[in-house]
């Protein structure tokens, strides 16, 4: 709860962020809106809520009447991941797919078992694979990037 955080929170309010605390809006009848005072209100640290008590002074365009009022603002902290982390931990977010199928039914089990063994010994390949699905005659490997899929295909060849 620093002055910088309070500035950031107060700037997120459109009515207060214009002209550094002074706003003129003729449609609503407000001639000017000025932030007089702001202070933090204590909240539980684990509640992920920030509360600020502000005092606002508004001058109305009708007869130049001034109104001063105290308000309590509540900001709720939300968790957010970067796009790369979000893609990695969310299912169905892949950029490339490699499908491996076996044509012959006689040697299909042997070839697929050999492929499984090769993948299980390579940490680098397992790290790049987002998801593996078993299909009728083979596997579908899902990757987060085209280059990871190309590395995998060169590994298989």
Query: What pLDDT sits at residue 134?
Result: 81
Query: What pLDDT sits at residue 75?
Result: 92
Query: What pLDDT sits at residue 26?
Result: 54
Query: What pLDDT sits at residue 52?
Result: 94
How does DSSP classify residue 79?
-
Query: What pLDDT sits at residue 104?
Result: 66
Average pLDDT over residues 13-27: 61
Tell whether pTM > 0.95: no
User: How does residue 45 score in pLDDT terms, banded at 50, 70 and 90?
Assistant: confident
Spatial CB neighbours of 6, under 8 Å, sequence gap ≥ 6: 38, 40, 52
Nearest Cα to 94, choosing from 137, 133, 121?
133
User: How does residue 24 score in pLDDT terms, banded at 50, 70 and 90?
Assistant: low
42 phi and psi angles, rounded to 5 deg: -65, 135
33-42, 67-76, 86-95, 138-147: segment of lowest average pLDDT: 86-95
Mean pLDDT across the chain: 80
Average pLDDT over residues 58-64: 80
Q: Between 5 and 32, whose confidence is greater?
A: 5
Query: What pLDDT sits at residue 21?
Result: 45
Q: Given a cut of 70, is residue 102 above it in pLDDT? A: yes
Give the distance from CA 57 to its chain's centroid.
36
> Using CA atoms, how far apart are residues 130 and 132, in angstroms rounded to an integer?
7
Residue-level length of the chain: 157
Spatial CB neighbours of 95, under 8 Å, sequence gap ≥ 6: 143, 144, 145, 146, 149
């Amino acid at each position: 709860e620093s002055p910088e955080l309070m500035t950031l929170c107060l700037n997120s309010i459109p009515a207060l962020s214009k002209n550094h605390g002074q706003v003129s809006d003729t449609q609503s009848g407000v001639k000017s809106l000025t932030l007089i005072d702001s202070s933090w209100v204590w909240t539980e640290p684990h509640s992920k809520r920030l509360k600020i008590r502000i005092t606002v002074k508004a001058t109305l365009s009708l007869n130049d009447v001034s109104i001063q009022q105290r308000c309590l603002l509540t900001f709720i902290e939300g968790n957010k991941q970067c796009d790369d982390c979000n893609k990695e931990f969310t299912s169905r977010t892949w950029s490339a797919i490699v499908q491996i199928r076996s044509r012959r039914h006689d040697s299909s089990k042997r070839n697929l078992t050999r492929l499984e063994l090769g993948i299980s010994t390579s940490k680098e390949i397992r790290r790049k694979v987002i998801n593996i699905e078993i299909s009728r005659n083979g596997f579908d490997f899902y990757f987060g990037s085209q280059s990871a899929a190309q590395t995998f295909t060169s590994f298989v060849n």
